[in-house]
Amino acid sequence: MLLPQASMLELLAMVWINQAILRGKGRKWASAAVSTGENG
């Protein structure tokens, strides 16, 4: 049961890394996107 959850966590981590580092949004981009309604 834990393996599918680990797979989902890995996918979310890859999205976070992509947005934070490769797109230059910084370490707190997710909380900023939620609070401001940013879509990209």
Model pLDDT for residues 8-33, shown as the tens digit of each residue: 889 988 888 888 888 777 776 666 56
Q: Is the pTM of this model over 0.85?
A: no
Q: What is the pLDDT of residue 34?
A: 61
φ, ψ of residue 27 to 5 degrees: the values are: -75, -25
Q: What is the pLDDT of residue 12?
A: 87
Q: What is the pLDDT of residue 32?
A: 59
Q: Which residues contact 19 (CB under 8 A, 6 or more apart)?
A: 25, 29, 30
Reduce the DSSP state of residue 40 to 3 states and report it.
coil
Banded model confidence at residue 40, pLDDT cuts 50, 70, 90: low
Q: Tell which phi-psi region holds residue 38, choosing left (phi > 0), alpha (psi between -120 and 50) or beta.
A: beta
